[in-house]
Structures are given as C-alpha cells and as structure tokens.
C-alpha cells in the first residue's frame, strides 16, 4: 500500500513544482510563498477534517519536528520561487534541487538514522549526479 501513497505523492510534488513555476511571475518570492503556504495550510486542514479529526493533546517531539519541517518547507518554497523566477527554467532548477535533496536525505539516513549504505544507493547517487551534470552541460 505504501507504493500507492508514494506514487501519488510523486505526482502531487511534480504538479506542485509546475504550479510554482506558473506562480513565479510575481516580483516578490515571499508573497508567492505566502499565497502558496495559505493554499497548503487550507488543504492540510481540509484533509484533516475529511480523513482524521483526531487531535493529540499531549506534546511530543514529533510535533516539534513537524513544525520545524513545515517551516523548512516554507523556506524551501520561497527560495524555489526565486530560483524559478530568475533561473534557466523549471526543467533545470527543479531536478537539481530534487537530486540534491535526495542525496542529502540519503546521507542523513546513513549518518543520523543508522541506515545501511548499499552499493545500489551509492550507484544511484552517482547516476543522479551524472544526470544533473548532463542537464547543466546542455544549457
């Protein structure tokens, strides 16, 4: 079942990136980010109301980490709006950001969560870097 959610999330993030590009026409990336995050919070609230309506009142570290993660998404989105507004295009900017994110998450997994580094992970990282090189060399 996790693969269905993973594929749906992949579709959602790719569509979100396309919408970020279309929305990057405003001069102020922070205004773009504000509007984007309002849409995000509104959707999160609707999803919670429709599917959950459960609220845990006792504070946990998970809530703190979720707040920090949400804050980092806001910073990421503001920087992405700016990069899309001034950069070479969505087909260059987004793959570089996504590959960099994938490589850093893999590194964090190995360093902080004791996940095992495999040959296939290392080869995948090298191939991803090669893909970024090919994207950049064609521009």
- Residue boundaries of the structural domains of the chain: 2-137
The predicted pLDDT at position 139 comes to 61
Residue of 78, 132, 70, 59 whose CA lies nearest to 101: 132
Greatest Cα pair distance, the chain, in angstroms, is 53
Please give the Cα distance from 116 to 63 (Å, whole number).
27
| Spans in the chain with pLDDT lower than 70 | 139
Handedness of CA 122, 76, 10, 116 (dihedral sign): positive
CB-based contact 73:16 (threshold 8 Å): no
State whether residue 58 is helix, strand or coil: coil
């Amino acid at each position: 079942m996790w693969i269905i959610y993973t594929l749906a999330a992949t579709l959602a993030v790719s569509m979100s990136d396309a919408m970020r590009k279309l929305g990057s026409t405003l001069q102020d990336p922070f205004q773009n980010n504000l509007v984007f995050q309002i849409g995000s919070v509104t959707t999160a609230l609707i999803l919670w109301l429709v599917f959950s309506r459960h609220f845990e009142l006792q504070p946990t570290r998970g809530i703190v980490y979720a707040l920090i993660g949400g804050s980092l998404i806001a910073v990421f989105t503001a920087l992405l709006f700016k990069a899309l507004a001034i950069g070479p295009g969505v087909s260059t900017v987004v793959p570089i950001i996504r590959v960099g994110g994938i490589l850093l998450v893999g590194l964090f997994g190995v360093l902080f969560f004791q996940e095992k580094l495999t040959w296939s992970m290392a080869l995948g990282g090298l191939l991803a870097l090669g893909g970024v090189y090919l994207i950049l060399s064609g521009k």
